[in-house]
Structure 1
Amino acid sequence: MNSFRTRSGALLAGLLAAALTFTAGCSGDDKSPDASGSAAGGKVDLSFWDWDPNMDKVVALWNNAHPDIHVTLTNPAGGDQLVAKMITAHQAKNGPDIAKVEYQSLPALVSNGVVRDITEYTKTAVANFDDATLSATKLEGKVYGIPQDVAPLMLFYRADIFAQYGLAVPTTWEQYAQEAATLHQKAPNVSMTNFDAADPGWFTGLVQQAGANWWTASGTTWKVNINGPESKKVADYWEGLVKNGLVLKNPSFSPQWNKQMNDGSIASWISGAWAPAQLGGIAPDTKGKWAAAPLPAWTAGDKTTGIWGGSAVTVTADSAHPAQAAQFVSWLNSDDAAVAAQVENINVYPASTSGRSLPILAKPPAFLPNQPDFYSVVKQVAPSSRSFSIWGPNVTVTFRGYTDAFGAALQNGTSFGAALDTIQESTTADMKKLGFTLG
């Protein structure tokens, strides 16, 4: 994949080490971690924070086979909210043993000493991943997590609604806007999708597809380009759809949006390859009505897509049993049976090399029973997905700026391009405050 995984690991590590107080692996050492197979010959209890639906079924497989190392799963939050909870818990020295972390959040958690270097415990497991994938979880040559999945951005659409109103599955963004206009004309109460100002993940994937790099670095000097021409092209496009009434303005994952997704008020969803796992909870009455296609392109024939999410599973600095925690993390994402269970229950597209050839990928996700080639489509688009060449050290500030600026733009009818300018200003101001050199 042409993503930040291909070259940012060593670069970002050096920059973080130069710019931040690097404390990973130190903050939790006061618990005297036990590196043996069990705690003084007794049972080890591990806590695991994860937001995946049905992960409990996968954890149950581990617990049944490993009576001496019991994993207790909880779901305190997801994405950025989980990161905030992890930092708070670490400051109070009561963090979990294990936590799922999105790739873009890992550098900040490492620099704040929240997650632990698990290189010594994962030498066998890392052989199950190609270098491009593993580099998403390596800093300064050290392993800070085991990759779980890759999440190329795709177009999920209601096949029944498209058929009812004679819509074509769009292959370009120009065609997407045309089909949205046709749908609005034929069914004013049905919108093609929504513009989500609450979750920046989908928008960053769209600007990645357009070729944007919000952060770049040379040595210890950073450049921030959130409001560059590629990003503004995407922003202007969506501003046009919003102002023409072709897409809704409410946030995804809200009760209102869930209802709209369930009752057919929304005809498509731009999401990561993990979407089928979420649709059952979002729109339970629509099973079998969705299909997936490659993301529309800016230029006909271009296969480039962006990424929304993708995660690693980490061992925290607060764990008193890092060896056992790393054993579970390695099993979860490199053991074929465990990976197959995640595909079946969570609909991940595996990060492990062998996982991408598992027989279970020949079957569709449970919520998309009418699309047996779903994972073949994912396999088709994944090699052409790209992320930013490097994620910035203050992603949470940037993401919060997105929510504030685009939320205000939707409410006030102001320019989406100006919203990007605001995010640019807040991100650079924060980096300067943190002591980074900007070029």
Structure 2
Amino acid sequence: MNHRTVAVGAAVALAALTATACGSSESSDEDGGPVELTYWGWAPGLEQAAALWNETHPDIQVTVKEQAGGDELVTRTITAAEAGEAPDLMQAEYQALPTLVSNDVLADISGQVSDSEGDFSAGLWQQVTLGTDAVYALPQDSGPMMLFYRQDLFEEYELDVPTTWEEFADTARRVRDVAPEAYLTTFSANDAGLFAGLAQQAGAQWWTTEDTTWRVAIDDEATQRVADFWGGLVAEGAIDNKPMYTPAWNRALNTGEQIAWVSAVWAPSVLASSAADTAGQWAAAPLPQWEEGANVTGSWGGSTTAVTNDSEHPEEAAEFATWLNTDPEALAVLIEHGIYPAATAAQTGDALTEPPAFLSNQPDFYEQAATVAQGTAPAAWGPNVNVAYSTFNDAFGQAARDRSDFGEAVTEMQQATVADLRDHGFEVAE
């Protein structure tokens, strides 16, 4: 059987198989020694957290093996699973979960972790359940989106921090009037995660399932609204059209040629390296809203801890995953190494009382981030996120350079994603 053709919609059958495996677990290895678990991941602090666990859990020992992150780790794990050699646990980004489930890599751990649902926001929990009763991972860290801006230049140019997207557009035009050499921000077409998060905030859910059929809705009203908004600002020259993470982008942030960045809670660490000369001059605010007074944000980034079907000790693996992502001491270790925790309680805990050094002028940064995170919109991912993202890079990259219609680029993403699903044997209803 080709694992690529197993739809996530068949979660009931998968859950039955994994429940059988979970039922055979024992609390120690067959030779009477401790249970040995292997965890593949890349986040800083995982080894230190595992060491803390190992000190207090002599019967269950966890070894962290650092791997390449993101898509490369997904590929390595799928390859290992095909040989029956996947690790007990793995770190996986939220958007990678449907791909891993459709390749029969991840175990349903709902029987072990369902009591943890209340520890996380509804939007994040939805991403690890894929809209089913199964639970395929526990949220580890999150990336609620926020608006970062040069506080000093906003004051100099007499700008108010926009609270709605209409105000954001007006502010962009105002910047061009008072400082023609500067832009409020840029639309970047080299990281689809940013656009996906903006679409989520507007209400988009790009992939959903019904039984074994996928429905792709990238070309929906919400996404087109976001595309029209940003495409319009680029077309009129109100914002720049240059990509992020380039020397030119770094220079623009450093010199005040770009005075704001729509990003996520992890932005201060990027700004600290990209705009080092401006430390203490930035501040963060909630993402502008489509409806005045709302508190809705999208996600950009974040990952989970999942248990694989190859684990001989799924109950112990799920126990560790729960501890890692909900225990205050474990979370304190991860926070110390720069992880913004998914667990709601940890977002206002003692470990986040001090702001990032780069935002030393904003002592309530994490307090504000926690409030923003409460409004995280649900995201819906599919088994070929890579295809949609690759098409985004090409189609939106061209549209941004040409200052042409972003709506056509959205339609191109939709068509490429649907075609790829069908090419791989998935049932698709548009």
TM category, shorter:
0.7 to 0.9
Residue 387 of structure 1: how far off its partner (Å): 2.7
Farther off after superposition, 106-115 or 175-184: 175-184
Is 2:8 the counterpart of 1:16? yes
| Alignment of structure 1 residues 218-367 onto 2, 5 Å | 218-319=210-311, 322=314, 325-348=317-340, 350-367=341-358
Farther off after superposition, 53-62 or 95-104: 53-62
Report the equivalent of 2:421. 431
After superposition, the C-alpha distances for 1:347-379 in whole angstroms (9 at most, x for unaligned) are: 51x333543452334432343222122222223
The number of equivalent residue pairs is 417
Distance change >3 Å, CA 122–CA 210, structure 1 → 2: closer
Report the equivalent of 2:385. 395
Compute the RMSD of aligned alpha carbons.
3.6
User: Which 5+ residue runs of structure 2 have no aligned equivalent?
Assistant: 1-5
Report the equivalent of 2:398. 408
Distance change >3 Å, CA 75–CA 253, structure 1 → 2: farther
After superposition, the C-alpha distances for 1:23-57 in whole angstroms (9 at most, x for unaligned) are: 9978xx9xxx985446842684634312x455555
SS of residue in 1 equivalent to 2:404 = coil
| Distance in 1 separating the partners of 2:277 and 2:339 | 19
Q: Which amino acid aligns with 1:417?
A: G
Distance change >3 Å, CA 58–CA 413, structure 1 → 2: same
| Distance in 1 separating the partners of 2:357 and 2:228 | 37
- The equivalent position to 2:91 in structure 1, one of 100, 105, 116, is 100
Residue 109 of structure 1: how far off its partner (Å): 0.8
| Distance in 2 separating the partners of 1:436 and 1:248 | 40
Report the equivalent of 2:129. 138
Report the equivalent of 2:361. 370
User: TM-score, length-normalised on structure 2?
Assistant: 0.81
Report the equivalent of 1:110. 101
Residue 228 of structure 1: how far off its partner (Å): 2.6
Distance change >3 Å, CA 246–CA 84, structure 1 → 2: farther
Q: Which amino acid aligns with 1:159?
A: Q
After superposition, the C-alpha distances for 1:303-324 in whole angstroms (9 at most, x for unaligned) are: 3322223431112345566455
SS of residue in 2 equivalent to 1:76 = coil
| Distance in 2 separating the partners of 1:153 and 1:317 | 33
Distance change >3 Å, CA 97–CA 367, structure 1 → 2: farther
Distance change >3 Å, CA 227–CA 353, structure 1 → 2: closer
| Distance in 2 separating the partners of 1:90 and 1:230 | 37
Residue 70 of structure 1: how far off its partner (Å): 4.7
| Distance in 1 separating the partners of 2:242 and 2:301 | 21
Residue 197 of structure 1: how far off its partner (Å): 1.4
Residue 429 of structure 1: how far off its partner (Å): 1.8
- Mapped contact 2:143–2:266 kept (Cα < 8 A): yes
Report the equivalent of 1:3. none
| Distance in 1 separating the partners of 2:210 and 2:109 | 28
Q: Which amino acid aligns with 1:109?
A: L
Report the equivalent of 1:191. 183
Farther off after superposition, 295-304 or 352-361: 352-361
- Mapped contact 2:37–2:89 kept (Cα < 8 A): no
- Mapped contact 2:148–2:285 kept (Cα < 8 A): yes
**Paired-residue identity, %:** 41
Distance change >3 Å, CA 251–CA 99, structure 1 → 2: farther
Q: Which amino acid aligns with 1:400?
A: S
Distance change >3 Å, CA 39–CA 191, structure 1 → 2: farther
| Distance in 2 separating the partners of 1:88 and 1:283 | 39
| Distance in 2 separating the partners of 1:358 and 1:39 | 40
Q: Which amino acid aligns with 2:201?
A: Q
